[in-house]
Structure 1
Amino acid sequence: DTGAVEMALWSLLGERGVDMVAWESFGSGWVTDVVKQLKLADVRKFEAGYGQLPDLKQIDFDRDVVFTWNGTTSGVRVPNGDFIP
């Protein structure tokens, strides 16, 4: 269950554009919620196939950013935080 993240999505997003990054089931669910439920106007999606990472260099950290840090269903995780400015 991702109730805490869902609460954060509904409470914190919307002031500026958001980059949604997904490569497993939790992140994919969050992308769906932001696009179909919150219906935010400025959403960029970066998605990869199950077990792969999307190109993290495309993320714009001047926007809000949502992604799964660890504990993913696929076992894939970001190798380090070097891509975060």
Structure 2
Amino acid sequence: MFVMPNNHSAGVPWTEEEHRMFLLGLQKLGKGDWRGIARNYVISRSPTQVASHAQKYFIRQSNVSRRKRRSSLFDIVADEVSTMFSSLSI
């Protein structure tokens, strides 16, 4: 029986750090380069997991103004990541 390593099994929530690195990768590589983001920024996740996270992120972003909801990891936006990582050379 094949067992996937830690963060490759279903239902493991993304950490805030993984999401921030996802946003940084998204900013640097652009929408759609899920393999590049997984390989260079969110190395703990597969390209499929990054693509799935991106899909949920973009849906959540388009629904932000439509209704009140509890805060979530998806509330961390690229502008915050830009400011946070602007002093780093990644």
What's the TM-score, normalizing by structure 1?
A: 0.25
Q: Whose helix proportion is higher, 1 or 2?
A: 2
Structure number with bigger Rg = 2
- The structure in which a higher percent of residues are strand is 1
